């Protein structure tokens, strides 16, 4: 009798949720996405344009006459990178800044903030929430998306635009195309997205990984001929890059990278792995993948081990690793379970695409580990978390509940567990804004070393360059940002050192 | 539905808070969360806030004035200091050089007091730079600002 009562309760408990509000869940999903996006945009917009890796590119754009000339200059200006669209974007944003009366901060920072809004709204669109249970799962997934340590990397730096954010956006857009009804327009768009991504950053190859994985999982929005065209684009890119331009990729000793609990410098890498770099490359790939699933290591470095050895395991490690381990377990539960029709869920496009992007994204991190590089995998991790949370909230399935199948969990425990994980992700989400404030402080500070009054011989000789750099500096220092001394002292222990 | 609210409550609260703060920042340059508080030039220097130092100097604030520094040099106390003295309090040579680069006066008239302050405050790099430029200073009878 007691068991029957529990089942009755479960049946009622897991009924599709109806809202007392007369609001369409789909409208609520978009509204909530917009709320997340506006908060993100507000914090991103207030970061001044950075000097490191950005000012030089902006100044270079001033020396070329047009957008096509920028494209051409981006093809031959590096021995290892082929990123002409970075030059084109920079030139375009400078021209927009000029058109706004010299408001370069509006152009560059507005672009970065708007790109964040686009990514978040694309995420909402791809999730496709239709019921209130879906909306609940979406809010959880949005917290995962914005709370991921890989997500903040796409907003803390801009060179002067963040190309990792560009790749993630096109990757999600490609997934949306794959899930669509398809057609000629979708095919053309998919090929265009790959071309744009490849000419923005080498990680653009992830767009093809998304398209192929989605097709393998049964998503038919991108036709086979279009997939073939995308493969040809990649082959043509490789031929042009390696065969014609003779560019090499990043290799051993070009960037510092984490190794176990420490960071090894480029010279140390050459000294230790010069004879056989494969162990280091394998380490970078495996650790980059693990970082998405566990939030450790960070840029290849097990900072949690270092903190443990120092005897100071601060809350940030508990919150970050705890939320990630439980969310990864949720995704694993979803992937290895069966849907209402008895099919294995690991064949779901969202699971297949996440797995493919995780592997491909980790693979492109072979030379060195960096949180931003695996940002795209982080976005698809959040999409997988959405699917898993939705299934978690409706389990047992309505068919099972009708048949009297008991819940695998005591009533309420499933939701309570998700609520705890969701709250942990919300804490991490606050950390995103905390870190963005810190970034704003650092970016603003950098301008003190530009156009220094007692070093006039280092100022640009060209009048146009001097005018633009002066304007950029004036805008940057005019942006009021709190110094670390004005931020909560306990912030670092909850959200990390930076 | 009650149980589902428990899942969305914290993320929605965070998102809404920063959305309102972001809109306030965009429209009125006043974010509601973690807003920059006004500081004096010497406080900016003591907080290693290079951007704020440059902004205030650009706005006409003199690098040779003496300004209040609250809760930085001495915990919970007001400590009047010149920007160069505040830079010495950070023990960071780059902050001292920032002040000089943007026009702070450094000459025989104030070098001795700054040297003695750096010596007493264990700002070794700044002290050594001052000794190199002005020679070793006799700190006997020098009244330090704090």
A338-373 confidence digits (pLDDT tens): 988 888 899 999 999 999 999 999 999 999 999 999
Q: Give the integer Cα–Cα distance in Å for A324 and A329.
A: 8
Q: Are A315 and A493 in contact (CB under 8 A)?
A: yes
User: pLDDT tier at A102 (50, 70, 90 boundaries)?
Assistant: very high
Whole-prediction pTM value? 0.94
Average pLDDT of chain A is 93
- Given a cut of 80, whether residue A219 has pLDDT beyond it is yes
Q: Tell me the CA distances in angstroms from A219 to A149, A171, A224, B70, one per residue in order.
A: 29, 15, 11, 62
Minimal Cβ distance to A17: which of B1, B13, B14: B1
Whether residue B65 lies within 8 A of chain A, CB to CB, comes out as: no
- Given a cut of 60, whether residue A4 has pLDDT beyond it is no
Are B83 and B49 in a shared domain? Answer: yes
* Beta-carbon contacts of residue A341 (< 8 Å; ≥ 6 apart): none
Q: Give the integer Cα–Cα distance in Å for A393 and A422.
A: 13
| Set of chain A residues whose Cβ sits within 8 Å of the Cβ of B7 | 136, 139-140, 389, 393, 415, 418-419, 422
DSSP-derived letter for residue A298 is B
Whether residue B55 lies within 8 A of chain A, CB to CB, comes out as: yes
For residue range B58-95, list pLDDT tens digits in order. 999 999 999 999 999 999 999 999 999 999 999 999 99
CATH number at residue B105: 1.25.40
B25 within some domain: yes
Q: Give the integer Cα–Cα distance in Å for A201 and A74.
A: 12
User: pLDDT tier at A11 (50, 70, 90 boundaries)?
Assistant: very low
Q: Give the integer Cα–Cα distance in Å for A440 and B45.
A: 17
- Given a cut of 70, whether residue A404 has pLDDT beyond it is no
pLDDT of A12: 44
- Given a cut of 80, whether residue A113 has pLDDT beyond it is yes
Cβ separation of A42 and B8 shorter than 8 Å? no
Whether residue A40 lies within 8 A of chain B, CB to CB, comes out as: yes
Residue A344: what are its φ and ψ, rounded to 5°? -65, 130
pLDDT of B133: 96
For residue range A163-186, list pLDDT tens digits in order. 999 999 999 999 999 999 999 999
Are B20 and B87 in a shared domain? Answer: no
SS3 A301: strand
Are B16 and B69 in a shared domain? Answer: no
Give chain B's domain count: 2
Q: Are A223 and A188 in contact (CB under 8 A)?
A: no
Minimal Cβ distance to B19: which of A19, A35, A477: A35
Whether residue B100 lies within 8 A of chain A, CB to CB, comes out as: yes
Are B50 and B16 in a shared domain? Answer: no
Are B104 and B80 in a shared domain? Answer: yes
Q: Give the integer Cα–Cα distance in Å for A175 and A377.
A: 13
Are B59 and B4 in a shared domain? Answer: no
Whether residue A45 lies within 8 A of chain B, CB to CB, comes out as: yes
Whether residue B47 lies within 8 A of chain A, CB to CB, comes out as: yes
Q: Are A445 and B50 in contact (CB under 8 A)?
A: yes
Which residue, A151, A200, A187, A113, is CA-closest to A383?
A: A151
* Percent of chain A whose pLDDT exceeds 90: 86
Q: Give the integer Cα–Cα distance in Å for A494 and A315.
A: 5
Q: Which residue has the higher pLDDT, A498 or B10?
A: B10
Give chain A's domain count: 1
| Set of chain A residues whose Cβ sits within 8 Å of the Cβ of B12 | 32, 35, 139
A5 within some domain: no
Cis ω for the linkage preceding A396 (within 30 of 0)? yes
A380 within some domain: yes
What is the signed CA dihedral for A154, A155, A161, A165, rounded to 10 degrees? 30
CA angle A316–A318–A323, rounded 5-degree value:
100
- Tokens standing for residue A360: 């491909």
For residue range B99-145, list pLDDT tens digits in order. 999 999 999 999 999 999 999 999 999 999 999 999 999 999 999 99
A314 within some domain: yes
Q: Give the integer Cα–Cα distance in Å for A380 and A195.
A: 21
- List the 6-45 stretch of B: residues with Cβ below 8 A of A: 6-19, 21-23, 25-26, 29, 31, 33-37, 39, 44
Q: Are A258 and A296 in contact (CB under 8 A)?
A: no
Q: Give the integer Cα–Cα distance in Å for A30 and A126.
A: 11
Query: Which residue range(s) make up the domain with A438?
Result: 24-495
Residue B11 Cα to chain centre, angstroms: 34
Q: Are B88 and B63 in contact (CB under 8 A)?
A: no
Closest residue in B to A447 (Cα–Cα): B51
Q: Are B67 and B81 in contact (CB under 8 A)?
A: yes
Count how many Cα atoms sit within 13 Å of the Cα of residue A160 in the half-sphere of its side chain: 31
Query: Which residue range(s) make up the domain with B123?
Result: 41-134
Are B27 and B91 in a shared domain? Answer: no
DSSP-derived letter for residue A240 is I
Q: Give the integer Cα–Cα distance in Å for A60 and A76.
A: 13
Cβ separation of B54 and A477 shorter than 8 Å? yes
A9 within some domain: no
Are B27 and B74 in a shared domain? Answer: no
Q: Strand A257-259 relative to strand A262-264: parallel, antiparallel, unpaired? A: antiparallel
Q: Which residue has the higher pLDDT, A311 or A237?
A: A237
A362 within some domain: yes
* Residue showing tokens 């130092």: B53
For residue range A23-34, list pLDDT tens digits in order. 999 999 999 999
- Given a cut of 70, whether residue A39 has pLDDT beyond it is yes
B139 within some domain: no
SS3 A262: strand
Q: Give the integer Cα–Cα distance in Å for A222 and A233.
A: 15
Q: Are B57 and B102 in contact (CB under 8 A)?
A: yes
User: pLDDT tier at A3 (50, 70, 90 boundaries)?
Assistant: very low
pLDDT of A400: 54
User: pLDDT tier at A325 (50, 70, 90 boundaries)?
Assistant: very high
């Amino acid at each position: 009798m007691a068991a029957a009562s529990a089942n009755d309760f479960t049946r009622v408990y897991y009924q599709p949720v109806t809202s007392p509000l007369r609001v369409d869940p789909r409208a609520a999903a978009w509204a909530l996405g917009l709320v997340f996006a506006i908060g993100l945009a507000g914090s991103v917009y207030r970061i001044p344009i950075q000097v490191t890796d950005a000012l030089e590119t902006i100044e270079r754009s001033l020396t070329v006459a047009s957008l096509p000339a920028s494209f051409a200059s981006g093809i031959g200006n590096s021995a290892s990178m082929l990123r002409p669209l970075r030059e084109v974007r920079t030139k375009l944003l400078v021209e927009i800044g000029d058109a706004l009366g010299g408001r370069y901060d509006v152009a560059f920072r507005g672009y970065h903030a708007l790109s964040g809004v686009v990514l978040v709204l694309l995420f909402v669109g791809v999730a496709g929430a239709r019921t209130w249970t879906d909306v609940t799962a979406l809010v959880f997934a949005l917290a995962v998306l914005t709370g991921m340590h890989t997500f903040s990397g796409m907003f803390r730096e801009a060179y002067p635009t963040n190309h990792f954010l560009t790749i993630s956006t096109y990757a999600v857009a490609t997934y949306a195309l794959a899930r669509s009804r398809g057609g000629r327009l979708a095919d053309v768009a998919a090929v265009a997205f790959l071309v744009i991504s490849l000419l923005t950053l080498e990680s653009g190859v992830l767009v093809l990984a998304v398209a192929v994985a989605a097709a393998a999982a049964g998503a038919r929005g991108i036709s086979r001929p279009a997939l073939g065209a995308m493969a040809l684009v990649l082959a043509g890119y490789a031929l042009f890059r390696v065969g014609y331009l003779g560019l090499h990729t990043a290799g051993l000793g070009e960037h510092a990278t984490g190794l176990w609990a420490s960071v090894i410098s480029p010279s140390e890498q050459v000294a230790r792995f010069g004879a056989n770099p494969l162990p280091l490359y394998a380490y970078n790939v495996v650790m980059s993948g693990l970082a998405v699933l566990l939030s450790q290591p960070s840029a290849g470095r097990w900072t949690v081990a270092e903190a443990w050895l120092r005897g100071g395991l601060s809350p940030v490690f508990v919150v970050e690793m705890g939320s990630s381990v439980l969310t990864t377990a949720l995704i694993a539960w979803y992937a290895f379970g069966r849907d209402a029709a008895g099919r294995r869920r690991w064949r779901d496009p969202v699971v297949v695409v996440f797995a493919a992007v995780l592997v491909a994204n980790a693979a492109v991190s072979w030379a060195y580990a960096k949180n931003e590089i695996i940002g795209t995998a982080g976005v698809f991790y959040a999409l997988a978390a959405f699917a898993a949370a939705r299934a978690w909230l409706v389990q047992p399935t309505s068919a099972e509940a009708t048949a009297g199948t008991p819940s695998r969990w005591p009533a309420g425990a499933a939701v309570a567990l998700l609520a705890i994980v969701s709250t942990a992700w919300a804490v991490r989400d606050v950390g995103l804004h905390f870190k963005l404030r810190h970034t704003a402080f650092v970016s603003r500070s950098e301008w003190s070393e530009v156009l220094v009054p007692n070093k006039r011989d280092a100022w640009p000789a060209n009048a146009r360059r001097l005018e633009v750099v002066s304007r950029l500096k004036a805008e940057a220092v005019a942006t009021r940002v709190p110094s670390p001394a004005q931020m909560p002292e306990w912030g670092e222990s909850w959200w990390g050192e930076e | 539905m009650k149980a589902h609210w428990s899942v969305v409550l914290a993320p929605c609260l965070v998102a809404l808070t920063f959305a309102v703060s972001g809109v306030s920042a965009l429209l009125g340059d006043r974010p509601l969360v973690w807003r920059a508080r006004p500081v004096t030039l010497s406080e900016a220097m003591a907080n290693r806030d290079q951007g704020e130092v440059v902004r205030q100097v650009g706005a006409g604030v003199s690098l040779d004035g003496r300004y209040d520094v609250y809760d930085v040099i001495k915990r919970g106390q007001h400590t009047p200091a010149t920007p160069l003295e505040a830079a010495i309090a950070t023990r960071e040579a780059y902050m001292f050089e920032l002040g000089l680069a943007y026009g702070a006066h450094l000459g025989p008239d104030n070098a001795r007091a700054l040297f003695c302050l750096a010596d007493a405050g264990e700002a070794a790099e700044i002290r050594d730079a001052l000794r190199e430029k002005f020679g070793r200073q006799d700190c006997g009878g020098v009244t330090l600002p704090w």
